[in-house]
């Protein structure tokens, strides 16, 4: 469990933190350079490599793994004394960060790790503490000292601080710490229970629930776009690298930070409102990356559906509400009343089924379909209430129930009537 707090380091501490960021960035880039050189020297046959363009590494040189690069840090400190100013475990976690990215790249097949430019490395981690670093209204960071912290909510009883991540925001003018807490208490998975609703996300309405409630979409970026454009224009007129240019860039970054905070605050409040109304929530498993590449990409990025689903899942876990995602394909093209296919374009905002005559708003019909699919999933898995033979999908049981519902006696229910 992570808690984020605002800290207020003094000028000396801010300068030291920024130096640590740049040192970690240099270590990250150096380790990545070793990794790329080793790969480049082995991407083709030995007798066909170019001696002028390829970096040749001996064939018996092992792969620069995490443990090898971590063990080389003490040697590097002797050659580069400024590395000794940074806490040793902070440099080790920087190497760990690179190899986590490398392992993720090998798993997904794309997204090779990139070099970090100046200002792109914005965090580092203290992985462990012997004692609780938070004391009253200060947090004690190794080699940094005590830093004032805005402890807006206390550490829960029974939890201890496992690690602390220091974050830099708004071009190094705002600082935060993400405190990771751990406890020996094991929290069981939330079962399916209580009232269930399905939600549909969209651009006309940000959220529409199956109980006919909806939430309008605040346009965070578009409402501040005019002021943001003015600040960007002022920054573009300044001489690059000057103090006035840096001040203008800070104003632009502060505006972006404010927009992001307003959006996150709205997402959290909406998630809590959903948890107040239901104990089981189903949502669409949207292709968030695909939405950011379409014609409405600006509005989709401004709505941040991916962030909302992630925060909703976290809020549901914290409050004991069951949350699950369902297949989003065809939820707006299927009638929730009779399950017939009703094709309609995006310009059609009303659902009208020609088979059963069911009429409602398009987003409401999609939310009802999400609820229907979610209930089907949990029933087929035996998660809803008491499990019966009808709920595990046994062959023939569904037909038997239909015959009984039609009034056919049990003795005549051996075969269907043709």
Whole-Å CA distances, 133 to 60, 85, 136, 291 = 45, 20, 10, 42
Domain count, the chain: 3
Task: Report the C-alpha gap between 283 and 370 in whole angstroms.
Answer: 7
* Domain identity same for 339 and 351: yes
Which H/E stretch holds residue 206? Answer: strand 205-209
* Domain identity same for 339 and 194: yes
- Residue 73's pLDDT is what? 94
Task: Report the C-alpha gap between 23 and 411 in whole angstroms.
Answer: 81
Last residue of a domain, one of 137, 157, 182: 182
Q: Residue 404 is part of which domain span?
A: 388-418
* Domain identity same for 281 and 356: yes
Tens of pLDDT, residue by residue over 137-171, are: 899 999 999 999 999 998 888 889 999 999 999 99
Task: Report which of 379, 383, 381, 413 is spatially closest to residue 399, judged by C-alpha positions.
Answer: 413
* Domain identity same for 296 and 322: yes
The residue-averaged pLDDT of 308-337 equals 91
Can you give the pTM of this predicted structure? 0.82
Task: Report the C-alpha gap between 230 and 214 in whole angstroms.
Answer: 34
- In this structure, how many other beta carbons lie within 10 angstroms of the beta carbon of residue 356? 12
Tens of pLDDT, residue by residue over 202-243, are: 998 999 999 888 999 999 999 999 999 999 999 999 999 899
Contact at 8 Å (CB) between 159 and 3? no
* Domain identity same for 55 and 130: yes
Exposure class string for 315-335: b at 16+ Cβ within 10 A, else e: bbeeeebbbbbbebeebbbbb
Task: Report the C-alpha gap between 226 and 259 in whole angstroms.
Answer: 13
Last residue of a domain, one of 165, 182, 199: 182
């Amino acid at each position: 469990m992570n808690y984020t707090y605002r800290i207020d380091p003094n000028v000396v501490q801010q300068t030291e933190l920024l130096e640590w960021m740049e040192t970690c960035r240099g270590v990250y880039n150096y380790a990545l350079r070793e990794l790329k050189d080793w790969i480049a020297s082995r991407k083709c046959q030995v007798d066909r490599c170019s001696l002028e363009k390829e970096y040749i590494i001996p064939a018996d040189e092992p792969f620069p793994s995490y443990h090898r690069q971590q063990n080389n840090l003490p040697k590097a400190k002797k050659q580069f004394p400024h590395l000794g100013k940074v806490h040793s475990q902070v440099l080790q976690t920087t190497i760990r960060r690179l190899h986590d990215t490398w392992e993720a790249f090998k798993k997904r097949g794309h997204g090779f790790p990139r070099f970090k430019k100046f200002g792109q490395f914005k965090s580092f981690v203290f992985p462990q503490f012997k004692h609780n670093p938070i004391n009253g209204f200060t947090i004690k960071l190794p080699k940094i000292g005590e830093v004032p912290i805005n402890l807006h909510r206390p550490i829960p009883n029974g939890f201890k601080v496992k690690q602390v991540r220091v974050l830099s925001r708004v071009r190094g003018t705002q600082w935060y710490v993400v405190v990771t807490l751990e406890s020996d208490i094991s929290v069981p998975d939330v079962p399916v229970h209580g009232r269930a609703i399905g939600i549909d996300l969209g651009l006309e309405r940000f959220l529409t629930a199956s109980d006919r409630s909806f939430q309008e979409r605040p346009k965070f970026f578009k409402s501040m776009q005019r002021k943001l454009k003015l600040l960007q224009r002022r920054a573009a007129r300044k001489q690059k690298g000057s103090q006035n240019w840096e001040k203008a860039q800070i104003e632009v970054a502060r505006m972006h930070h404010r927009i992001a905070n307003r959006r996150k605050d709205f997402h959290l409040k909406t998630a809590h409102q959903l948890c107040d109304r239901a104990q089981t929530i189903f949502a669409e498993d949207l292709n968030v990356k695909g939405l950011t590449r379409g014609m409405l990409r600006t509005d989709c990025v401004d709505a941040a559906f991916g962030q909302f689903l992630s925060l909703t899942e976290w809020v549901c876990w914290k409050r004991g509400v069951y949350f699950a995602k369902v297949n989003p394909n065809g939820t707006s093209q299927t009638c929730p009343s009779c399950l017939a296919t009703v094709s309609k374009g995006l310009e059609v905002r009303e659902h009208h089924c020609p088979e059963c005559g069911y009429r409602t708003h398009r987003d409401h019909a999609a939310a009802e379909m999400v609820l229907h699919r979610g209930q089907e999933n949990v029933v087929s898995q035996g998660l809803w209430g008491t499990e019966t033979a009808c709920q595990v999908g046994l062959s023939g049981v569904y037909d038997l129930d239909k015959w009984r519902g039609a009034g056919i006696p049990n003795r005549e229910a051996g075969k269907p009537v043709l």
